[in-house]
Structure 1
Amino acid sequence: MLHYINTDIVFQEFPDEVTLAINISGCPCHCPGCHSRFLWSDEGSDLTTEVLSSLIREAEDTITCVGFMGGDADPTAVDTLAEHVLHCHPGLKTGWYTGRTAISPLINQQHFNYIKVGPYLRHLGALNSPRTNQRMLRRRLDGSFEDITFRFWK
């Protein structure tokens, strides 16, 4: 069972989207220099499909995307939640921030419009650095993914 600490409406996590960002706890990555260490412990409220729909309904007049920030301990659960958004909240896009070095084979990538992959490495910087190891991928209409990381560079 995934747990979440909090949510926020954000404008920069996924390009051209107003996103309901859900901060999922229990991150096993523990990246050095992590800015979200509060997500390392597995605590918070259960993130079920019912809770997710409630969170979406509270923000549905504002958002265009639901972003799962973390969830690396249980990619299958993140995939199930993304699929729920696609089927029960049509018109909303989905995104996932994973700190893993590769996209989990346990997910159906077609459930996501965006996937950010890669651990934060302080010496390489975050997505806004041309040196970053992280990648922001966006699903094209044909189902393939394109790397749009350059859109974050300053």
Structure 2
Amino acid sequence: MLHYINTDVVFQEFPDEVTLAINVSGCPCRCPGCHSKFLWADRGEDLTDETLSALIHETKGTITCVGFMGGDGDPAEVDRLAQHVLSHHPHLKIGWYTGRTAISPLIDQQHFDYIKVGPYLRHLGGLDSPRTNQRMYRRSPDGSFEDITSRFWKAHDDKNL
């Protein structure tokens, strides 16, 4: 069972989406420089199908996407919750931010519209840096995933690369 600490409606996590970001706890990655250390401990409310649908209902008409922020301790459960969103809220897109360096084989990528992988490494920067190790993937209409990381890069001076 996944647990979540809190939620927020955000505008920058997934491109062109208004996202219900669900902060899932119990992250085993412990990334140096993590901005969400409060998600390391496995605590918070149970993230059940009913709870997920209630959270979505509270934001009805506002959001276009549900984003699972974390869930690295149980990717199969993140996948199951994504299936729930697909079957009960098919008008919404689904995203997942994982601190892992690769997409888990325990998920069906077709259940997601966006997947971001990679721990935050301060010396490489986040998605807005061309030096980042993080990658953002978007599912194309044909079902393949394309790397759209460069879409996030801010204008950088070549000497800073």
Shorter-chain TM-score bucket reads over 0.9
CA shift, 1:60, in A, is: 1.7
Q: Does 1:109 align with 2:103?
A: no
C-alpha separation between the residues in 2 aligned to 1:104 and 1:19? 22
C-alpha separation between the residues in 2 aligned to 1:26 and 1:127? 23
C-alpha separation between the residues in 2 aligned to 1:106 and 1:82? 13
SS at match of 1:86: helix
Q: How many residues align?
A: 154
What residue identity is the alignment partner of 2:117?
V
Unpaired segments ≥5 residues, structure 2: 155-161
What residue identity is the alignment partner of 2:126?
A
SS at match of 2:17: coil
Q: Which residue of 2 aligns with 1:93?
A: 93
CA-to-partner distance for each residue in 1:42-98, whole Å, 9 max, x for gaps?
A: 000000011000000000210000000000000000000001101100110000000
1:29-68 pair list within 5 angstroms = 29-68=29-68
Q: Which residue of 2 aligns with 1:15?
A: 15
C-alpha separation between the residues in 1 aligned to 2:72 and 2:97? 9
1:127-138 pair list within 5 angstroms = 127-138=127-138
SS at match of 1:66: strand
Q: Which runs of 4+ in 1 moved over 2 A?
A: none
CA shift, 1:151, in A, is: 1.1
CA shift, 1:126, in A, is: 0.6
C-alpha separation between the residues in 1 aligned to 2:152 and 2:36? 19
CA shift, 1:142, in A, is: 0.5
| CA RMSD of superposed structures (Å) | 0.4
Q: Does 1:5 align with 2:5?
A: yes
1:73-92 pair list within 5 angstroms = 73-92=73-92
Q: Which residue of 2 aligns with 1:122?
A: 122
CA-to-partner distance for each residue in 1:90-131, whole Å, 9 max, x for gaps?
A: 110000000001000000000000000111111101111110
Scaled by the length of structure 1, the TM-score of the pair is 0.99
Rg: which structure is higher? 2
C-alpha separation between the residues in 1 aligned to 2:47 and 2:99? 19
Unpaired segments ≥5 residues, structure 1: none
